[in-house]
Amino acid sequence: MSGTSLDGIDIALARIRGSGRSMEVDVLFAGERPWPEPMRSNLLAIADPDADVRLSVAALSALDASLAEIYAEAIRSVVQQSGHTMADIDVVGNHGQTVFHDPKAGHTMQLGNPSRLANLLGVPVVGDFRQADMALGGEGAPLVPYMDWVLFTSPTEHRLLLNLGGIANITSLPPNADREQVLAFDTGPANMILDQLASRLLGAPYDRDGAVSAAGSADELVVEELLNDAWFRQPPPKSTGRERFGRTYVDRVVHLTDHLGTADRMATAAAVTTRSIVDAVRRFVPGSPDVLWVSGGGVHNRAVMQGLESGFAGMSVASLASVGYDPDAKEAVCFALLAHEAMNGIATGMPSVTGARGRAFSGKICPAGTT
């Protein structure tokens, strides 16, 4: 998985048996590989709808092929580090790098050609997971709720699963939920704004451990102003990305906080993330959830985690690590799981999540050629 924050390529090696709620998943190894430069900077520019970057069809095609080569090198490296070889691997699930996503217009683009990747690795690859759901009128995302439903549904607890990547998304699992009872949606920006602010204000790719954000105090009037956006009030199904919370939104954050010191500006951005999540749960999630388990890079941000604990007072808020799952590897494991289901002919689309007209068969199966 390589997400909208472009903070690295997450890779997980998993052994998976069964299907649906009877599935067993053992995570054998997880690792991360950094994006090489200038590829990371180029992808950030391309995905920024406000950037003055225009690619020819030839350049876009070349980028699609180049990303497959970068993914292949990263996968081989982590597999070798795990003590395995590619001969041990049955299938690779790869989300690809999102460079555009507009669910209202009904189209999306993830780069990292899965057919090329399959032939580079010599094993089947399942990729391009969003298109089928969008063809059925759905949002095409989020994709993790199928995994949440499979692995984390409880017979007694109402559980919330929150992932803090570039964008925050949340899954609601009522006790003993059947598949059509799962509710999930994007709540707004998570690391996306914080990372861009860190780049501008700190000269760093991110605020390590949320140290600067935690040292500041949020301007609540500015937080209210930034949350006064119709998108936050829009009911699910919904998904979003840089198209809404990219450079223009960050420019607005910078403008509205220019009277504050650096730590207070970072704290205000962190409060936008936490408040948008808390407000979304109160507004759209029925019932009284018992626990909130957090994953993704934002789980390491102290200001964000403290904001969630304060906003969800009376609810247990903890990292997914507290129940034995690596919070940094969750999304990578998800695409192994979705690839496994695709290879077994299982449609993993979640109409209750995306609003699609039916269950989409998520992912295109790309076999490796034979010699």
Q: How far, in Å, CA of 6 to CA of 29, rounded?
A: 21
Contact 94, 143 (CB under 8 A): no
Per residue in 128-184, pLDDT (tens digit) is 999 999 999 999 999 999 999 999 999 999 999 999 999 999 999 999 999 999 999
Angle between helix 330-343 and helix 145-152 axes, rounded to 10 deg:
90
The CATH H-level (homologous superfamily) assignment of domain 145-323 is ATPase, nucleotide binding domain (3.30.420.40)
Instruction: For 255-310, write each residue's pLDDT tens digit.
Output: 999 999 999 999 999 999 999 999 999 999 999 999 999 999 999 999 999 999 99
Task: Classify the C-alpha dihedral 195-196-201-205 as positive or negative.
Answer: positive
CA distance 161 to 152: 8
145-323 matches 9-139+329-366 in CATH topology: yes
Provide the b/e sequence for 21-31 (b: ≥16 CB within 10 Å): eebebebeebb
Residue linked to tokens 């439903």: 149
Homologous superfamily in CATH for domain 9-139+329-366: ATPase, nucleotide binding domain (3.30.420.40)
Q: How far is CA 230 from CA 63, 108, 141, 273, in A?
A: 34, 22, 20, 16
Closest CA to 4 of 246, 265, 280: 246
Average of per-residue pLDDT across 338-346: 97
Q: Check: CB of residue 86 under 8 Å from CB of residue 131.
A: no
Stated pTM of the model: 0.93
Residue 371, pLDDT above cutoff 90: no
163 beta partners: 169, 295
Domain boundaries, the chain: 9-139+329-366, 145-323
Residue 370: is its pLDDT beyond 80?
no
